[in-house]
Structure 1
Amino acid sequence: MLRYTLMRFGIFAGCLVVVWGAVYSGLFPRGYGNANFFWVLLLSLVLSAPISWVVLRKERERASVHVAGRVDRIKANLDANRNQEDGVEDPAAAQGRAS
């Protein structure tokens, strides 16, 4: 999962450098007033999302298998704990029936 996140961040950083260069060279329009940094950031996010979607498909699938495995283990542990609790009799309830 960390690998996917770092790869995604790397793609974003690459897009940020490319967009920054394109804005300052005049290929892309500059932002309005002091909003130029946010304009570059927004364009980088918009460009990096579809690139990440295509390029990181296998890594995303690998990460989802990892997450699904963890969820299955947690569910199995919860079920095991629930079954252990069902097998234990409550002492207060047992005393109430004995009376």
Structure 2
Amino acid sequence: MLRYTLMRLGIFVGCLVAVWGLVYVGVFPRGLGDSNGMWIILLALLISAPISYVALRKERDRASVQVVNRVDRMKANLDANRGQEDVADDTARTQEQTS
């Protein structure tokens, strides 16, 4: 998961540098008034999102499998804890009834 996040961040930073260079050279407009920084960030986000979607498909699938496995383990642990609580509760009730 960390690998996917770092790869995604790397693509964004690369797009940010490229957009900044293109705005600096004059290929892209500088934005409105003082919005130059925000314009560059938004444009970099807009460009990096589809690139990340296509380029990181396999890595995203691997991260998804890791998340699903982690959730399944947590569910199994919760079910095991519930089972232990049920057994302890049943034992306590049986002891109360026999007393």
Q: Considering the TM-score relative to the shorter chain, is it more than 0.5?
A: yes
1:1-99 superposed matches below 5 A:
1-89=1-89, 91=92, 95=96, 97=97
* Partner SS for 1:88: helix
List structure 1 segments (4+ residues) > 2 angstroms apart after TM superposition: 89-95
In structure 1, list runs of 5 or more residues that go unmatched: none
Shift of 1:89: 2.5
Q: Percent identity?
A: 65
In structure 2, list runs of 5 or more residues that go unmatched: none
TM-score (norm 2): 0.91
Letter in 2 for 1:55: A
Cα root mean square deviation, aligned: 1.7
Letter in 2 for 1:67: V
- 1:1-49 Cα deviation digits (max 9, x unpaired): 0000000000000000110011111111111111100000000000000
